[in-house]
Amino acid sequence: MFKKVGLQEGVTLYIRKSEQFKTVNFSVKWKTALDEKKAAHRAVLANVLEDSNGRYQTQTEFRNALDELYGTVLYTDAGKRAETHIVSLSAECVNDEYISEGGVLDEVLSLIQTVIFDPNIKDGKFDDTVVTREKRSVKDRIRSVYDDKTRYAQKRMLELLRPDSAASASSYGTEKDVEALTSADLFAAYESMINDDEIDIYVVGDIDENEMTEKIKSLFTFNPRTVQNRQPVVQQTAKQTTDIKHVLEKQDMKQGKLHLGFSTPVTFGHPDYAKMQVTNGVFGGFAHSKLFMNVREKESMAYYASSSYSSHYGLLYVMAGIDAELEEKAVNLIKEQLSELQAGEITDLEIEQTQALLANGIKSAFDSARGQIEVFDQYKELDENFTADSIISGWEAVTKEDIRKMASEITLEIVYLLSGKGAN
Amino acid sequence: MKKIQFDNLQETLYNETLDNGLDVYILPKRGFSKTFVTFTTKYGSIDRTFIPRGKNEEVTVPDGIAHFLEHKMFEKEDGDVFQKFSVNGASANAFTSFTRTAYLFSATDKLYDNTEILLDFVQEPYFTEKTVDKEKGIIAQEITMYDDQPDWRLYFGTIENMFHEHPVKIDIAGTVASIQDITADHLYECYETFYHPSNMVLFAVGAVDPAEMMAFIKKNQDAKTFDEPAEIIRSFPTEADTAAKTDRNLVMDVSKPKLNIGMKCNKTDIEGEEMLIQELSAGLVLDILFGRSSEFFTESYNEGLIDESFSYDFTMENGFGFAMVGSDTDQPVELETAIRKTIRDAVENWPITDVELNRMRKKKIGQFMRSLNSPEFIANQFTRYTFNNMNLFDVIPTFEKLTLENLKDAFNTFCDESGHTVYSIVPAVKAK
């Protein structure tokens, strides 16, 4: 779906002409081995690059310029996938054909070039005021997870389940690492990101592919770099004991946030990957799934009860918002649903519904430019020539017996409950 | 079937009002695989006092009933509607707002089967005491979930502060106590009053053939019998322009205090072009005064009064409206002062010139173009606009003709301090 153009060793352009959208989307992704300290540095760097640059030295000037370009959106973010940390710079502007004055697209390209190659640096360092302010912002962002009880419970569950690993690491690092960051560290992080990272550049929109490729080649003058194969996730095999960790934590709150962590040897790219996706769908991925139908509809115990498959880390999670007093009943009910799968108590209807909704999900994802970029960026690691149809046929081949086998490779490791139970 | 072309946007909209009163809109989008279909009634949480269809006396129903009804539409004698959508690969959902209840699906296959499911399940109510009681546990957990969300509490606390009587101050889902009073009879009474096709809009956008889709919907509707359309008589209390409460806070288990300022709009009995001009103007004013390129934002962000959670918004429907500005903050007192000062300064010395207006106008036009990539945005917003006698596709021409006078007028509807209020969430450890 994307045309691939090597710009330099380790720097690749993926470009797609599409008349589907009224805007042109850009995304530049810097990828490196995940390390929490490095993540902290890069999260702050991402913020600093979004704030200002050599051409527009204050946030106000920069934002005014973007407003003038018909509200062009330009932002950075930090994320992770498996053992890889990813900083992305995204921009989206209205296609010139929809506005009276032309030249917006070229100006946006030039701005992206400025953000990347001409940062707001004086005497070899970033402006201290900006750095201090953006350190504060990233710390606030890390801390604010506490206020979102579902996210907080999920974070705690992961920390307990897989401490000191990529699975539980924050893509923004820790508050401590952010605090310790100096201006010199930040400059080093910038240099290493620009010169050493693997870089993927995406462009989607109603553009001339050749013309855009030439412009990017001449504007984005990255040096060649050697990209080491980053380590695949080493799946910690589940302890072969029946010991299930059980953790109860308190906050002053009303609902009980029940999060269960399961492990599986089947990860992204494993030959059984498609089978595990369907298994998760039958278990709790949708509104027809066993968890929704039983925990919510049959027992009226929850408003949400679902499972999700974190394939990059070989983990599967179940989450439900319940009355904390009913924890034991809910946990038993969830376990029962998994036991049913393991016993092959699965109807053809459940499988068909799951296959149909997985297919709908991936086809719908391609209906947004962001979706095209994100799905492609992930699946290209398996096969650069994949299509929605090739993925869908993988799901359609999954049988009841496959699901039964997959379910028997799912092991409960932790039950975590965050609630106000007994709190004052 | 009417065909309306928007040349500048390269979009064509098809519309027909069916014999039973249902307004159908279809917008094909090139290149899309999915079709997004919404079926919406002009009935939301604020419609709690009305004369039921076929009766003469006004009734007031329990809080949270429109939302409860939305939940219960999905359960039928032969099971759960989600199951049927899933078989056809459709992802279905619904939501209830202050003024609307929408049922929707998104599908890349079997468009007509899914459209039929949507039309039929919304037009065939099935409520029993047993199924109604069963739902109470689920909705109680939904309410409890919102109770633990500090940002929702902040938003709703601010609304409660602003309004004396208007039912917008009642939480859309009601309370765990109020939903206990809901019966199957209540649901039927609300359903009969508000779900007549003449009070509803169907919007389909995406990979859809307009003529075929229209014919399919018509055939489905023609095969059903409906009562004659009747005017719906809703009743709303008189609402003063002042804020009901000036300052309240709530202690919660949060890491940082949250502060929100609500500014009540005093001109809300409007619709159509007048409403469109007012709400677009108000949005522009807030962007200029509080947006990322504003003096307020720059100073407050530099001084640490606001962080990445900072947001502002203007909301309006016929009968109520308000602006909100708020953020997580370690300095709630200073932030409150800074927001109030920005408004007061603008009252005393109007800071907006053509330079700011023209820049923001461009920004808003671009933002709107970007939104048109989203079938969800188009369907939901178009329906909301229609219910207020506005047209979504008038947004760009209206932005193009807005004047400084329009901005000033819109600002004047919410700048009076007697309509202002502050609500804050205070971390437990820092509570007095």
pLDDT for A424: 42
Chain A residues 331-350 within an 8 A CB cutoff of chain B: 349
The bridge status of strand B247-252 relative to strand B35-41 is unpaired
Q: How far apart are CA B91 and CA B220, in angstroms?
A: 21
Residue A252 and residue B252: Cβ atoms within 8 Å?
yes
pLDDT for A101: 79
pLDDT for A231: 61
pLDDT digits (tens, 9 = 90+) for A235-287: 555 555 568 999 999 999 999 999 999 999 999 999 999 999 999 999 999 99
Average pLDDT of B344-358?
A: 97
Which residue, A255, A286, A423, is CA-closest to A351?
A: A286
Distance from CA of B131 to the nearest CA of A (A): 10
Spell out the domains of chain A, with CATH numbers in brackets: 3-219 (3.30.830.10), 245-419 (3.30.830.10)
Residue B328 and residue A137: Cβ atoms within 8 Å?
no
**Mean pLDDT, chain B, as a whole number?**
97
Searching chain A, which residue's CA lies closest to the CA of residue B32? A367
Which of A232-243 are b and which e, b meaning 16 or more Cβ less than 10 Å from the residue's Cβ? ebebeebeeeee
Q: Give the active site residues of B.
A: 70
Does B432 have pLDDT greater than 50?
Answer: no
Residue A19 and residue B309: Cβ atoms within 8 Å?
no
* ipTM here: 0.95
Distance from CA of A73 to the nearest CA of B (A): 9
Q: How far apart are CA B392 and CA B387, in angstroms?
A: 11
Type of residue numbered A345 = E
- Homologous superfamily of domain range B2-222: Metalloenzyme, LuxS/M16 peptidase-like (3.30.830.10)
Distance from CA of B236 to the nearest CA of A (A): 31
> Do A361 and B91 touch, CB atoms closer than 8 A?
yes
SS3 B383: helix
Residue B33 and residue A367: Cβ atoms within 8 Å?
yes
DSSP string, B71-84: HHHTEETTEEHHHH
Q: Where are the beta strands (DSSP E) in B229-310?
A: 247-252, 258-264
Residue B366 and residue A366: Cβ atoms within 8 Å?
no
Distance from CA of A252 to the nearest CA of B (A): 6
How many helices (H) and strands (E) chain B has is answered by 14, 16
Q: How far apart are CA B158 and CA B168, in angstroms?
A: 11
pLDDT for A236: 57
Edge-first strand order for the sheet with B91-96 is B2-6, B11-17, B23-28, B200-206, B35-41, B101-107, B91-96
> What's the pTM value of the predicted model, to 2 decimals?
0.96
pLDDT for B342: 98
> A68 — contact with chain B (CB < 8 Å)?
yes
pLDDT for A239: 55
The structural domains of chain B, with segments of one domain joined by +, span 2-222, 247-430
Distance from CA of A204 to the nearest CA of B (A): 13
Does B430 have pLDDT greater than 60?
Answer: no
Residue segments in chain A with a per-residue pLDDT below the cut of 50? 424
pLDDT digits (tens, 9 = 90+) for B263-301: 999 999 999 999 999 999 999 999 999 999 999 999 999
CATH topology of domain B247-430: Cytochrome Bc1 Complex; Chain A, domain 1 (3.30.830)
Of A72, A287, A349, the CB nearest to B82: A287
> A54 — contact with chain B (CB < 8 Å)?
no
Does B396 have pLDDT greater than 60?
Answer: yes
Residue A303 and residue B139: Cβ atoms within 8 Å?
yes
> Do A157 and A310 touch, CB atoms closer than 8 A?
no
> A382 — contact with chain B (CB < 8 Å)?
no
Are B2-222 and B247-430 in the same CATH fold? yes
**Mean pLDDT, chain A, as a whole number?**
95
Q: How far apart are CA B386 and CA B390, in angstroms?
A: 5
Q: Which residue has the tokens 């039964």?
A: A404
pLDDT digits (tens, 9 = 90+) for B9-36: 999 999 999 999 999 999 999 999 999 9
pLDDT for A97: 87
> A151 — contact with chain B (CB < 8 Å)?
no
Give contacts of A127 with chain B, Cβ < 8 Å.
none
Searching chain A, which residue's CA lies closest to the CA of residue B8? A98
> A424 — contact with chain B (CB < 8 Å)?
no
Residue B87 and residue A303: Cβ atoms within 8 Å?
no
Which of B392-418 are b and which e, b meaning 16 or more Cβ less than 10 Å from the residue's Cβ? bbbbbebbeebeeebbebbbebbbbee
